[in-house]
Amino acid sequence: MVNNSYMINGAGIGLRRSLIEQIVAEPSSNLAFYEIAPENWINIGGKYGKQFRAMTERKDFVCHGLSLSLGSTDPLDEAFVHDVKRFLTEHRIKLYSEHLSYCSNNGHLYDLMPIPFTGEAVKHVSARIKRVQDILEQRIAIENVSYYAAPSQEMSEIDFFNAVVAEADCSILLDINNIYVNSVNHNYDAEAFLKAMPGHRIAYAHIAGHYVEAEDFLVDTHGADVIDPVWKLLGKAYELFGVFPTLLERDFNLPPLAGLLKEVDTILAIQNAWHSQHTRKTA
């Protein structure tokens, strides 16, 4: 099985159709890769299809799924997984990631629901991840998700997450903002959570903004600028595990492309600071 880790590098953004014209016309050298939801692109043809093909021929891409519903008790949609496999091959896409959650129960729920933190759930979801990896013939990356309730909880979030990735032998999509949001909402130490992660499994990371509903209640919206504590947590992650590819995730309230690139520059500055410090230590 292929180990996908670090097949991409640098910083990236999610590719939105509203941005594609400007990205094609004014490509930025600071964007090393792009991320897409395969569900939104697999069957796209015409103008957007041609533009997308031209971009995948020039740039690295990763896929971040929305609908695989790994934690569901519904049958795994293997036909969709085979479609994803063909799509990855066709566009030479580096990696496929998904959420450690579920979004279906006898039909789609149109939201990402938390998987109970139980031993039974570890076995269930790990088996489904293994099946996806067997079909794709490569590891996938699993994202630590934001959640607002923990039904039937038998273990901590970090113990559950680590048990799943170990049992499934998969990679990690490390979401920095989700750690911060969960640490506030569930009153735990974000750095301690981060330190407990198996860093050797990190394939790439997300960083994003969120909405402050109350001092002790944050909502993971991907619709705002990244705040300083989240940037600092990214720096801490690099300090712990070394620099890994990092993607700015922005889904709503999209600023002009220049605004997104400003935050990409912040990612690169934090990465470059780590490289400079590491070079001095090894000189």
| 4 lies in some domain | no
Structural tokens at position 20: 């594609």
| 104 lies in some domain | yes
pLDDT for the residue 5: 46
Contact present, 238 and 198 (Cβ < 8 Å): no
| 62 lies in some domain | yes
Give the separation between CA 116 and CA 121, rounded to whole angstroms. Answer: 6
Q: Which domain holds residue 47?
A: 11-282
Q: Is the pLDDT of residue 152 over 90?
A: no
Per mean pLDDT, which of 11-25, 148-162, 234-248 is the most reliable? 234-248
User: What's the chain's average pLDDT?
Assistant: 92
| 1 lies in some domain | no
Q: Is the pLDDT of residue 115 over 60?
A: yes
Q: Is the pLDDT of residue 67 over 70?
A: yes
Give the pTM: 0.94
Mean pLDDT of 103-124: 81
CA distances (Å), 38 to each of 43, 83, 86, 207, in order?
9, 9, 11, 20
203 closest CA partner among 231, 239, 165:
165
Residue 244 sits in a domain whose CATH number is 3.20.20.150
Q: Residue 103: which pLDDT band, with cuts at 50, 70 and 90?
A: confident
What is the number of structural domains in the chain? 1
| 72 lies in some domain | yes
| 130 lies in some domain | yes
Q: Residue 26: which pLDDT band, with cuts at 50, 70 and 90?
A: confident
Mean pLDDT of 42-51: 91
Here the contacts of 165-169 (C-beta below 8 Å, separation 24 or greater) are 165/198, 165/201, 166/198, 167/122, 167/123, 167/126, 168/125, 168/126, 168/129, 168/130, 168/133, 168/142, 169/130, 169/133, 169/139
pLDDT for the residue 278: 83
Give the separation between CA 63 and CA 96, rounded to whole angstroms. Answer: 5
pLDDT for the residue 3: 42
Q: CA Rg, the chain, in Å?
A: 18
Q: Is the pLDDT of residue 10 over 60?
A: yes
Q: Residue 259: which pLDDT band, with cuts at 50, 70 and 90?
A: very high
Mean pLDDT of 28-40: 95
pLDDT for the residue 109: 55
pLDDT, tens only, 223-233: 999 999 999 99
Mean pLDDT of 107-128: 86
| 165 lies in some domain | yes
